[in-house]
Amino acid sequence: MKKLLAIALAALMSVSMVACGGGTSSSAPAASTASGSGSTAAAADGEKTVIKFANYALLENGYTEFWEGVKAGFEEKYPQYEIEWVTAPYGEIVNQVINQAGGGDKPDMIFGESSWIPTLQDAGLTIPVSEIFDQAYLDKFDPSVMDACKVNSEVYGLPMYSCTFMLYYNKDLFEQAGLDPNAPPTTYDEMLTMAEKLSTLTTADGNKVYPFGQTTASVAISGSAINSMVYNFGGTVLDENGQLATDNQGFKDAITMLQTLDEKGYNPQNAKLKDLRQLFATGQLAMYYDQSWGFNGVLSINPDAANFTASAKPLSGGEGNGAAMLQAHILAYMDNGEERKEGCRLLTEYLITEEVLKDYMTNITPAYPVIEDMKDMELNPVLEGATGATDNVINTPSIPMLNDLNLELCTLAQNVTVSDTDVDTAIEQFNSAAQAYVG
Amino acid sequence: MQTAAAKKEPRLKLNKKRGDQLFSAALVLPTLLITTVFILVPVIDSVIKSFLDFRVRNIISGEPGQWNNFENYTRLFQGGKLLPAIGVTLAFVVGVVLAQFVLGMALALILNSNVKCARFIRSIMMMPWVVPTIISALIWMWIFQPQYGLLKYFVSVITGGAVNDFAILNNPDTALLGVAIAALWKQIPLTTLLLLSGLQNVPEDMLEAATIDGASRTKKFFAIVIPYMKSVISIVVSMAIIENFKQFPLIWTMTGGGPNGSTTTLAILSYREAFVSNNLGSGAAVTTIWMLLMIVVIFVYNRIFRKEDMD
């Protein structure tokens, strides 16, 4: 009897295993098909069509309430639709979408950054926005921002709002250093002069105050920030065809500036943007480069930061004119049938309006509007000093391995800072490593 | 008139040996299935993909990968990242496993020596092992944070403010040590517990006899304790080698492989190739090399251990 029972249990386990194993390849697409047809059938029965929306911001401080409000408002206005969130942390959301899509369950929309578009397009995860929206609607968007979302002349993500890497500075620390809090630096030379005074400051509890912050940690967004700094100096990393183009003075000047900042102890070494935000919020950093919406991270650490923070345009250095890299938060779309594409269209047209975004952009995420209908909208006061920054921007050429290139830029920055390699050798090593990611 | 028993169909009779064999096979079947479906098939699939141009778009579109003439391997060897990654992996594994064993054994000996509150200490000591690896990484990142971290504060206080920018994770020469400290903090408790259980199984009469014969503590430790613990030590060290060979979340969270590639192990390189570059074929090539290296290390380890076996 015991033997029979044992065999029965073993057989049950085996059958369960086979059933589980088969699920990954055969049942997932079946489930997806069922879900897709279910949506259609459901709609025919007067039930709701589900829009699967991949959005990392749901998990971030300060953003949850806004996005839940969008869901509630949209579902109230369009009761035939229901938004279903797909969430993962910022650094993992693309992998989450890839895994889900690989299993046959593609989300309908992704909220992300313009720098993600080449990767998403190369992976076959986005469709051109022209398949969702009519030309009249697309014509309302700022053409220069739309250019930042193009791959092979086709727009693959619709911008919600834009910014550049801009300078945030602490007016109180400027005053303490005897500097005019209403006259931030406009060039790297001015910044170095001011930094000398700022570097003598300490916080109330004796901690060092860093004069200037530029992120160089090993994350792709730090690479974008370094690329933007190269533009400040009039240099390039890639040419317009997406080929490596670092043999220029601006590129060398930018990397040399990173080394100078490190040698003088002005820039916190190997810091992520979130480290810089933490230091800035706690009065340990006098100025730093960030995307405009990074200020929300500062506010979430220190709500009083609004009282001492001001912004300024990106600095110019060498032969450069202070141009910077354009950044945008975007919505990218996947093809899950006409009905769900229509839901995405309605949701987007509901979302990118002054009515929905005004409070968000004024109080939560400082950024610049990109659609004609919102051009007269009141901006977040912290952006006042950087007004016009988005008029002097450069779009990075789209290459599928942009993330890798950005990580190599971080390695280059670390090479001339924490590894003390000379600039020419470090650039040579960068060129050798980066060549594998272009062309 | 036939009885009820006589009316029954004759039962299929197996001899005892045959029956036992079938019974054993039935019990082994689930394990075989699990191993095949979840280990063997993915490993073979990964090795095959390492020879293909296989990217994320292949998964999305369902198109098979294309044979690319060993390009994944040649690119890795020519790219100058593979050999440093192998070096970093081996340095990390050897360093952490050695330190883990020595410190774990020291703690186990202390706990086995009738120290007061041994049970309490044992319970407290297990806490780092219970903490998820990602949380451990975040805790140690905060401790090591160069501008506002706890370690920086202590170093600053101890040196009277002379060293104000101590940053273990920012220096390519010390970053791996920083990650290793976090790994040790997490892994030493289990090592200690397993070694302690081994220590408690060393026969007292052997130790007493050696004491009567005048053996020193050191002599007893190396001549009796260690040989009796051989099987436990073998398991503990094997587990530590495997755990640290595949260590990913701790390193990825704490340094992302930086600064300047100084903590890029094969696990980090594999992730970067597969999920940052979205080149799954190249990621599979790193994984294949990684797997071969691990097989060699475990094989060598087992050979060494077998040679020293007193049995």
In a domain, residue B173? The reply is yes
pLDDT at B125 over 90: no
Q: Is residue B21 part of a domain?
A: no
Task: Determine, yes or no, domain membership for B109.
Answer: yes
Residues A335 and A321 in one domain: no
Mutation site for B-interface testing, chosen from A100, A121, A270, A416 by largest number of B Cβ within 10 Å: A270
Compute CA A18 distance to the chain's CA centroid, rounded to the nearest angstrom. Answer: 42
Q: How confident is the model at residue A8 (pLDDT cuts 50, 70, 90)?
A: low
Q: Is the pLDDT of residue A37 over 50?
A: no
Predicted pLDDT at A2: 62
Report how far apart the first and last C-alpha atoms of chain B are (Å, whole number).
68
In chain A, whose CA is at the least distance from the CA of B30? Answer: A14
Same domain, yes or no: A175 and A256: yes
Whether B25 is covered by a domain: the verdict is no
- List phi, psi (to 5°) of A288: -160, 160
- Digit-coded pLDDT (tens) for B275-310: 888 889 999 999 999 999 989 988 888 888 775 544
Q: How many domains is chain A partitioned into structurally?
A: 2
CATH number at residue B138: 1.10.3720.10
Q: Are A304 and A363 found together in one domain?
A: no
Whether the predicted pLDDT of A40 surpasses 80: no
Residue at A262 is within a domain: yes
Nearest residue on chain A to B273, judged by CA atoms? A404
Shared domain check, A397 and A373: no
Task: Identify whether B191 is part of a domain.
Answer: yes
Nearest residue to A157 via CA among A123, A119, A127: A127
The whole-angstrom separation of Cα A163 and Cα A120 is 21
Judge whether B151 is closer than 8 Å to chain A, CB to CB.
Answer: no
Residue A292 in any domain: the answer is yes
Q: For position A18, what pLDDT does the model report?
A: 44
Number of CB pairs < 8 Å for A and B? 125
Q: What is the pLDDT of residues A223-272, one digit of tens each?
A: 999 999 999 999 999 998 889 999 999 999 999 999 999 999 999 998 99
Closest Cα to residue B108, out of B228, B6, B189?
A: B189
Establish if B14 belongs to a structural domain.
no
Q: What is the pLDDT of residue B11?
A: 63
Is the CB of A392 inside 8 Å of chain B's CB atoms? no
Number of domains in chain B: 1
Q: State mean pLDDT over B165-178.
A: 88
In this structure, the answer to whether residues A266 and A353 fall within a common structural domain is: no
Flag whether A379 is in a domain.
Answer: yes
Residues A427 and A378 grouped into a single domain: no
Same domain, A310 and A343: no
On whether residue A356 sits in a domain, the answer given is yes
Query: In which band, very low, low, confident or very high, does the pLDDT at A21 lie, cut at 50, 70 and 90?
Result: very low
Highest mean pLDDT, choosing among A7-21, A384-398, B187-201: B187-201
Q: Looking at A181-185, A188-192, B9-13, which range is the least confident one?
A: B9-13
DSSP secondary-structure letter at A259?
H
Confirm whether A144 is domain-assigned.
yes
Q: Which domain holds residue B141?
A: 48-62+70-308
Chain A within 8 Å of B276 (Cβ-Cβ)? yes
Mean pLDDT of chain A: 88
Q: Is residue A315 in a domain?
A: yes
Q: Which sign, positive or negative, has the C-alpha torsion B49, B51, B53, B55?
A: positive
Co-location of A189 and A278 in the same domain: yes
Domain that holds residue A335: 48-163+328-383
* Percent of chain A's residues with pLDDT above 70: 89
Q: What is the CATH number of the domain that holds A265?
A: 3.40.190.10
Answer whether residue A369 is part of any domain. yes
Helix, strand or coil for residue B262? coil
The span from the CA of A103 to the CA of A27, in Å, is 9
B293 is a domain residue: yes
Could you tell me if A88 and A148 lie in one domain?
Answer: yes
Chain A hits for B147, CB-CB cut-off 8 Å, are: 207-208, 210, 268, 271, 275, 278-279, 284
Does residue A339 contact residue A49 with C-beta atoms inside 8 Å? yes
Both A127 and A244 in a single domain? Answer: no
Is 80 exceeded by the pLDDT of residue A19? Answer: no
| pLDDT (tens digit per residue) in A62-82 | 789 999 999 999 999 999 999
Please tell me whether residues A223 and A348 are part of one structural domain.
Answer: no
Residue A27 confidence (pLDDT) = 34
Rounded percentage of chain A residues whose pLDDT exceeds 90: 67
Pairing state between β A393-394 and A324-333? parallel
Whether residue A30 is contained in a domain is answered as no
- Please tell me the predicted confidence (pLDDT) of residue A439: 64
- pLDDT above 70: residue A325: yes
A183 interfaces chain B, CB cutoff of 8 Å = no
pLDDT > 70: what percent of chain B? 94
Give A13's pLDDT tier (boundaries 50, 70, 90): low
**At residue A83, what is the residue type?**
I
Q: Mind telling me how many Å the CA of A267 is from chain B's nearest CA? A: 11
C-beta atoms of A270 and B276 within 8 A: no
Asked if A271 has any chain B CB less than 8 Å from its own CB, the reply is yes
Read off the pLDDT of each residue in B260-269 and give the average, rounded to a whole number.
93
